[in-house]
Amino acid sequence: MYKRQVYQDFSTIDLISNGRAEIAVGRGSFIESFPLFGYDLKDYNQLFEEKLDLLLNINNNEVVNWSGKLRAPLVKQMVLPRATNDGRLPIWIAVGGTPESVLRAAKLGLPLIVAIIGGMPKQFQPLIEFYKEEYIKNGHDLEKMQIGIHSHTFLSDENATIDGYFHNYASQMNRIGATRGWAPYTKAQYNGGRSKEGALFIGSAEEVTDKILYMHELFGITRFIGHMDVGDPSHIEMMKAIELFGTKVAPNVRKALLS
């Protein structure tokens, strides 16, 4: 997507929401966008680096002067509207498990979001420690360092709802897996993911609270992002999950971390 348009869209949201918009940028796990926008997959890494550099330039300057190798330069181009906070939006680097992406974030001093949607979160400890080490090595303020994780999440007070959510989750995994050669998703995988050491934040408010606090213990996270619409749950169940997260999980996590 064009970084000028990304900035303009998010700055508009930021102004409407009184400064609540943030951007997470990543290389992505799907490549369908390359032919859609006319890009060559061989330029995968360079495209991201150039577009990130342009986005940061736009974020820091109302009048943009920028040049790269893969698109036309911008010369004295004014980009409006401007976000709150002197036009600057918080920009996070979103990564999967690629050390090069983590290193890029650390060198730039940008906050890091790690997508943990499978396996065991503990496996990501070396990657996050690598980020912390490189962040400090590159001279950035430790007090400003931010680390978040993004994981599949769903909440309910009803055991039957959580048990039945397996079918929603499996259908999503199998739709994606059909194009990637994955084996069918199993109930054992679901239950393993929901365990303390698993990557799924699916359960009661108490279970999800405990798991987020465990992630804080493992990584020192400052942000948790719960992806709640995986598998298309019913509207009623979705609204209840959001309510539980906002009224029970979030306040209980904050209370525990401040105590």
Q: Taking Cα atoms as reference points, which of 213, 222, 193 lies closest to residue 120?
A: 193
The mean pLDDT of 74-99, rounded to a whole number, is 96
Q: Is residue 46 predicted with pLDDT exceeding 70?
A: yes
What are residue 112's phi and psi, to 5 degrees? Answer: -115, 135
Q: Is residue 17 predicted with pLDDT exceeding 60?
A: yes
Residue 74 contacts residue 64 (beta carbons within 8 Å) = yes
Neighbours of 182 (CB within 10 A): 11
Give the pLDDT confidence score for residue 179 in this predicted structure: 86
In the chain, what are the domain boundaries? 1-87, 90-259
What is the enclosing helix (H) or strand (E) of 150? strand 147-155
Residue 22 contacts residue 92 (beta carbons within 8 Å) = yes
As a whole number of Å, the CA-based R_g of the chain is 20
Residue 141 contacts residue 110 (beta carbons within 8 Å) = no
The mean pLDDT of 107-121, rounded to a whole number, is 97
Residue 29 contacts residue 96 (beta carbons within 8 Å) = yes
* Buried residues in 38-56 as b, exposed as e (16+ CB within 10 A): eeeeeeeeebbebbbebbb
Residue 66 contacts residue 74 (beta carbons within 8 Å) = yes
Confidence of residue 2 (pLDDT cuts 50, 70, 90): low
Strands (E), 20-128: 23-25, 63-66, 74-78, 91-95, 112-115
Q: Is residue 1 predicted with pLDDT exceeding 60?
A: no
Q: How high does pLDDT run on average in the chain?
A: 95
Q: How many residues does the chain have?
A: 259
What is the enclosing helix (H) or strand (E) of 201? strand 201-203
Confidence of residue 109 (pLDDT cuts 50, 70, 90): very high
Q: Yes or no: is domain 90-259 CATH 3.40.50.2300?
A: no
The mean pLDDT of 95-106, rounded to a whole number, is 95
Give the pLDDT confidence score for residue 3 in this predicted structure: 67
Q: Taking Cα atoms as reference points, which of 120, 77, 99 lies closest to residue 211?
A: 120
Give the whole-number percent of the chain exceeding pLDDT 70. Answer: 99
What are residue 92's phi and psi, to 5 degrees? Answer: -105, 150
The mean pLDDT of 111-137, rounded to a whole number, is 97
pLDDT digits (tens, 9 = 90+) for 130-175: 999 999 999 999 999 999 999 999 999 999 999 999 999 999 999 9
* Buried residues in 78-110 as b, exposed as e (16+ CB within 10 A): ebeebbeeebebbbbbbbbeeeebbbbbbebeb
Read off the pTM.
0.92
